[in-house]
């Protein structure tokens, strides 16, 4: 896939922008706080209608404005030249593809894959398990509709069980919801384990090309509890009722899974250098991009938000080696990139974008 054009209106600090992004390499140049990351954020919405910078979608419209509009023109391996329109207003969001309205996220997620790289990716390593689960769920939902639907049904069931726990629901009521949760938990756990193993193999290969030496990268899955069968899940939930009632929420299950990133020296969070941590997070995103390509048959677009300048020369060279040459890359920075003649450069000032002539 490749972005051809982007039209953006009333998004964060951008009043209006229209950019030709048909080049395989586009670079947004400007000082901090001018709107470079905002534009990448708008591009990133096309995969799952989620921001890679914030969980609060109320922050996306221009301050004081009622909403925003984004129109993407893309060249797609399977759909040809396609126009995607996203409209957001106080009444909600609407998405259309070539004029046809999309009513369910499950019919849209993953069709137009992009992979963002930003300094915030360090939270995948340093942050809470929620950050890592969100990364894993988005990655697998984009390539596996069955995973996405099991995830939605599972979380809906857990939310209802939590409501009953807080309201002192009866054992019969809890049993009814637990019976609905169990098959979704089993399906989710099995698909998550399979997808995780495939992603782990790709990460190992990618990181070896970025690292300075053989650092023994590992990605280790940490399941909250065994979900081998529906009976096992039902028993787990039943035996946890008293404790769960005290805290008012379900404490075991796939929604508590986690994974760890490790190197030969030990846990990357505790023992890796800053350079190793950044390299590992970049490798994880490149692995995600390759994973999307393998599973979807669509080349994802790489959105690199001011991260290449944070890498040391060896890891920067490793990034270019690991990133397939035919993937489109749209990057930002406060200084021109290496070999600027190979980039289409846009100057960014106070939410306005102008092509920088050579």
Task: Identify whether residues 357 and 215 lie together within a single domain.
Answer: no
Q: What is the mean pLDDT of residues 252-281?
A: 88
Higher pLDDT, 306 or 20: 20
Identity of the highest mean pLDDT range in 55-69, 206-220, 291-305: 291-305
Tell me what pLDDT residue 276 has.
85
CATH number of 352's domain? 3.40.50.300
Task: Identify whether residues 263 and 125 lie together within a single domain.
Answer: yes
- Please state the three-class secondary structure of 223-236 as a single string: CCCCCCCHHHHHHH
CB neighbourhood size of 177 (10 A): 22
Q: What is the mean pLDDT of residues 167-171?
A: 94
Tell me what pLDDT residue 358 has.
59
Query: Which residue range(s) make up the domain with 313?
Result: 1-113+298-358
Q: What is the mean pLDDT of residues 95-123?
A: 95
Give yes or no for residue 110 having a pLDDT over 70. Answer: yes
Q: Which residues of 253-263 are buried (b: 16+ CB within 10 A; e: fewer)?
A: bbbebbbebbb
Q: Is the Cα dihedral 272, 274, 278, 281 positive or negative?
A: positive
Nearest to 142 by CA among 256, 37, 293: 293
Alpha helices for 167-307 (secondary structure H): 171-210, 230-239, 241-247, 268-271, 274-296
Query: Half-sphere exposure of residue 12, counting CA atoms within 13 Å on the CB side?
Result: 21
Q: pTM of the predicted model, to two decimals?
A: 0.93
Give yes or no for residue 64 having a pLDDT over 90. Answer: no
Instruction: Report d(CA 77, CA 75) in Å as an integer.
Output: 7
Task: Identify whether residues 100 and 143 lie together within a single domain.
Answer: no
Tell me what pLDDT residue 57 has.
82
Give 306-339 pLDDT, tens digit per residue: 887 777 787 777 777 778 889 999 999 998 888 8
pLDDT, averaged across the chain:
92
**Count of domains observed in the chain:** 2
Last residue of a domain, one of 266, 296, 326: 296
Instruction: Report d(CA 335, CA 31) in Å as an integer.
Output: 8
Last residue of a domain, one of 279, 296, 313: 296
Task: Identify whether residues 158 and 261 lie together within a single domain.
Answer: yes
Determine the Cα angle at 131 with ends 126 and 134, to 5°.
155
Task: Identify whether residues 224 and 270 lie together within a single domain.
Answer: yes
CATH number of 220's domain? 1.20.1050.90
Nearest to 185 by CA among 224, 222, 227, 152: 227
Task: Identify whether residues 59 and 163 lie together within a single domain.
Answer: no
Task: Identify whether residues 259 and 309 lie together within a single domain.
Answer: no
Last residue of a domain, one of 296, 318, 349: 296
Tell me what pLDDT residue 61 has.
94
Task: Identify whether residues 277 and 147 lie together within a single domain.
Answer: yes
Give yes or no for residue 211 having a pLDDT over 80. Answer: no
Task: Identify whether residues 324 and 209 lie together within a single domain.
Answer: no
Tell me what pLDDT residue 76 has.
97
Tell me what pLDDT residue 159 has.
97
Task: Identify whether residues 179 and 262 lie together within a single domain.
Answer: yes
Tell me what pLDDT residue 319 has.
79
pLDDT > 90 in the chain, percent: 76
Tell me what pLDDT residue 339 has.
84
Task: Identify whether residues 266 and 129 lie together within a single domain.
Answer: yes
Task: Identify whether residues 236 and 96 lie together within a single domain.
Answer: no
């Amino acid at each position: 896939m490749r972005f051809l054009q982007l039209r953006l209106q009333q998004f964060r600090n951008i009043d209006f922008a229209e950019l030709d992004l048909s080049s395989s390499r586009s670079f947004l140049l400007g000082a901090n706080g001018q709107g470079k990351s905002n534009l990448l954020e708008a591009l990133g919405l096309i995969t799952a209608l989620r921001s890679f910078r914030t969980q609060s979608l109320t922050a996306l419209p221009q301050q004081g404005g009622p909403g925003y509009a984004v129109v993407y023109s893309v060249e797609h391996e399977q759909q040809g030249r396609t126009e995607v329109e996203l409209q957001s207003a106080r009444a909600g969001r609407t998405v259309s593809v070539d004029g046809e309205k999309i009513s369910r996220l499950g019919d849209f997620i993953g069709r137009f894959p992009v992979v963002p790289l930003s300094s915030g990716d360090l939270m995948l390593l340093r942050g809470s398990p929620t950050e890592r689960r969100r990364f894993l769920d988005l990655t697998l939902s984009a390539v596996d509709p069955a995973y996405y639907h099991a995830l939605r049904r599972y979380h809906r069931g857990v939310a209802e069980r939590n409501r009953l726990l807080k309201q002192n629901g009866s054992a019969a009521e809890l049993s009814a919801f637990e019976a609905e949760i169990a098959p979704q938990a089993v399906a989710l756990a099995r698909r998550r384990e399979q997808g995780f193993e495939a992603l782990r193999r790709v990460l190992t290969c990618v990181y070896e090309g970025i690292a300075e030496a053989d650092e023994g990268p590992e990605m280790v899955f940490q399941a909250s509890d065994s979900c081998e069968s529906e009976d096992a899940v039902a028993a787990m939930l039943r035996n946890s009722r008293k404790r769960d009632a005290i805290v008012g929420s379900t404490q075991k299950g796939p929604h508590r899974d986690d994974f760890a990133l490790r190197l030969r020296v030990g846990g990357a969070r505790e023992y890796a250098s800053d350079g190793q941590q950044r390299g590992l997070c970049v490798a994880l995103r490149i692995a995600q991009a390759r994973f999307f390509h393998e599973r979807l048959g669509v080349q994802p677009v790489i959105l690199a938000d001011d991260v290449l300048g944070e890498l040391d020369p060896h890891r920067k060279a490793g990034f270019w080696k690991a990133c397939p040459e035919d993937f489109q890359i749209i990057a930002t920075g406060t200084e021109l990139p290496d070999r600027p003649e190979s980039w289409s450069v846009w100057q960014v000032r106070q939410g306005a974008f102008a092509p920088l002539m050579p």
